[in-house]
Structure 1
Amino acid sequence: MDLETATAELYGLAPEEFVARRTALVRQARTAKDRALAQRIQALARPTRSAWLVNLVARHQPEVLAELFELAELLAEGMRTVSGPELQQLTRQRNTVVAGLTRTAIGLGHQQGHRASESTRQEINDTFTAALADPDTAELVRSGTLTRAVRWSGFGLPGVDARTATPPEPNDTDQDTGRDTGQDSDEDDTGGAEVVDLEPRRRAADRERLRVELERSRSRWASASTRHQRLTDQLAELTDRVERAAELVRTAQEQASDAQREARAAQDRVRECERALEAARSACTALVATAERADHELSESVGRLRRERDRDASVREQLGEAEQALAAAERDVDRAESAWEEK
């Protein structure tokens, strides 16, 4: 596994699946002893819902982005060479392409069971619009690894007005009604004086005034857009930090649960050992009692044996005496018989 493979896999997942899979890939990298890869994978930020939907278009229908980038070139050229109705036509074409891409992104999300809110729809629209104006954003969109929506905060390519795509209508109340038109209110002078038409100059002045007002409006919009983008970035960063903290908490909870299970298992083993020790003690006590009884019985047996030996010795002694008496009696009998025979 390398970073490119991990990135391609992660940004192809729905946002709610991102963190868990990132954690698994980090663990795989750590198991493989590749700490650098683990750190780089851990640094990958979870995409917002709108960024994920834009990524779906780049991943599943890259061919439809070709029209967007072709139009970006036309708009870039148009801003330098055309004006008025032609530029407005390019702007309308831009709106059509962006709206179509937005619908495509939302449709791909719907196929995966996700419905886009109105704010998500607007963020998708803003991102595709920014891709028309900024080559770096275009490359991010093309890569399919966008992490959050992008809003264009410049002055050029998004169009005369990024919200309406049409220039504002002149306001009659803004015109200087006291301006000298160069024409008298009297009858024409027939004395050969040349009549000068100042209407083109007035129109040019109005266009310049409207241009200045438009630039001011763009500047205010750009400042607000920049601030919004900064806050959006901060929110996304905080969200990612919260998710990482939550992941650390979940990891700690899992480790605590594992430790509790191991502690309970150790307690069970201790109780088993205590029961075995108690059983051994009981068996030992029984063996001691048995040994004491055996020793007592042995002592009694030894006493009986000694008494039996004493009795045996006494009997043997009596037997010897009886045998001697018998022998004496036999001799007496022999002598008596001999005496009898002699008589």
Structure 2
Amino acid sequence: MDLDELADALYAAPPADFVATRDEAVRAARERGDKEFATAAARLRRPTRAAWLANLLARHRRDQLDGLLGIAASLADAQRTLDGAALRALSSQRRKLVAGMAREAGRLAREAHEPVSDSLLRELGDILEAALADPVVADEVRSGRLTRTITYSGFGPGSDPDAVVQRAAEKAAAPEPADAAEPAEAEPAEDPAEVARRERERAERRRDLADAEAMEATARERRDAAEAEHERAEQEHERARERVASLTAELDAAQRHERTAAADSREAAAAARAAAREAGTAATRTARARARVEEA
């Protein structure tokens, strides 16, 4: 089994089986002297339960998953062009698809005899929403080897912090362009103070966005570090449990052996006492017989 085959097997299996299966593969690799495989296999991280549900979709419902993620480009186009009607329609479609995919993942999990809760399905929905907003996350989800639960707190793919949405009614009320032959009326010059105010607002929005992105990046780093530490702690706990189980089994065997040995010792002591009594009786009989022979 190469590393890809091991990874496919691990991320397809329920998360509860992940650590034991991976560690067994690492031990086998070390025993056969394949240190490179052992090191690479040990780096494979157990998925969260929500990530495992996403992996189920990538493996068993790939066409439906691609269909959901395929609307990301349309959402981005609608945001860039400020097409409110298209954005509303796509957002409604997105919500229905995400909810449907979450339900399907729950059904697949139950077929694998894995329980799912509403909160777990909501976490999966967060992952799918993040995949729609971030192409990098979408690739992670498509890989079928997602390990972490991801949430997205931005405004969506390709959002422009300086954009101002024009309402449909305003578009309809906008005057048609004047005929080229007719002279256009001169538009009044904008108030410089108003222009400056709008520039300040745009600059402020840009700063707010930069601050929010920096905070989000820091939070993601903290989350990833915490997840890595959690994974390390769980692995250590699992190894400790295995060691306790092994030592407990050894102790039970030693105690059984001690009890058997004690019983054997007691039986041997009783047999030795009986043999001593028999030897004494035989010695007495021998002495009496010898005395009678001498008297004769």
TM-score, normalised relative to structure 2: 0.71
- 1:238 maps to 229
> Which moves more between the two structures, 229-238 or 13-22?
13-22
Q: What are the equivalent positions in structure 2 for 1:192-211 lying under 5 Å apart?
A: 197-198=188-189, 211=202
* Structure-1 residue corresponding to 2:12: 12
Tell me, yes or no, if the aligned pair for 2:29 and 2:38 is still in contact at 8 Å. yes
* Paired amino acid for 1:268: R
Change (3 A) 1:159 1:95: farther
Q: 1:114 aligns with which of 116, 120, 124?
A: 116
Larger radius of gyration: 1
What is the Cα deviation at residue 137 of structure 1?
2.8
Shift of 1:63: 0.5
**Superposition deviation, residue 61 in structure 1:** 0.8
Q: Which moved more, 1:109-118 or 1:251-260?
A: 109-118
Which deviates the most, 32-41 or 61-70?
Answer: 32-41
**Distance of 1:127 and 1:196 partners within structure 2:** 44
Q: What is the Cα-based RMSD across aligned positions, in Å?
A: 4.0
Query: Where does residue 250 of structure 1 map in the other structure?
Result: 241
Structure 1 unmatched runs, 5+: 171-193, 308-343
Distance 1:83 1:208, change over 3 A: farther
Gaps of 5+ in 2: 167-184
The sequence identity of aligned pairs, in percent, is 27
Q: Partner letter of residue 240 of structure 1?
A: E
Residue identity opposite 1:222 in structure 2 = E
Other structure's SS at 1:159 match: coil
| Partner of residue 53, structure 2 | 53
Using the TM superposition, give the Cα deviation of residue 232 of structure 1 relative to its aligned residue in structure 2, in angstroms.
Answer: 1.5
Map 1:1-343 → 2, pairs under 5 A: 1-23=1-23, 25-26=25-26, 36-72=36-72, 78=77, 83-86=80-83, 88=84, 91-92=87-88, 95-96=91-92, 98-111=94-107, 112=110, 113-117=115-119, 120=123, 123-130=126-133, 133-134=134-135, 136-150=136-150, 157-160=157-160, 197-198=188-189, 211-303=202-294, 307=296
Q: 1:198 to 1:149 in 2, by over 3 A?
A: farther
Whole-angstrom distance in 1 between the partners of 2:66 and 2:282: 98
Go from structure 1 to structure 2 and tell me whether the alpha carbon gap of 1:46 and 1:275 turns closer, same or farther (over 3 Å shift).
same
Relative to 1, partners in 2 of residues 1:270 and 1:284: Cα closer, same or farther, differing over 3 Å? Answer: same
Shift of 1:39: 4.5
C-alpha separation in 2, matches of 1:90 and 1:28: 55
Identify the range of structure 1 (214-223 vs 28-37) with the bigger mean alpha-carbon deviation: 28-37
Distance 1:268 1:30 in 2: 38
| Aligned length in residues | 271
How far the C-alpha of 1:99 sits from its partner, in A, is 2.8
Cα distance in 2 for partners of 1:285, 1:196 equals 130
In the alignment, the residues of structure 2 paired with residue 263 and residue 53 of structure 1 have an alpha-carbon distance, to the nearest angstrom, of 44
* Bigger RCO of structures 1 and 2 (CA < 8 A, at least 6 apart): 2
Shift of 1:296: 1.2
Q: Given residue 249 of structure 2, which amino acid in structure 1 is its aligned partner?
A: D
Deviation at 1:7, TM superposition (A): 1.9
1:93-149 deviation per Cα after TM superposition (whole angstroms, max 9, x unaligned): 66456434532442134322312328625632443234xx33x43321111111113
SS in 1 for 2:145: coil
Higher mean alpha-carbon deviation, 271-280 vs 88-97, is at: 88-97
Q: Secondary structure at the match of 1:11?
A: helix
**Residues 164-184 of structure 1 deviation map (CA, whole Å, 9 limit, x = unaligned):** xx95669xxxxxxxxxxxxxx
Structure 1 SS opposite 2:148: coil
Show CA shifts across 1:284-316 (max 9, x none): 303421431342144135325xx3xxxxxxxxx
Q: Which amino acid aligns with 1:115?
A: S
2:12 counterpart SS class: coil
Q: Give the secondary structure class of the aligned counterpart of 1:46.
A: coil
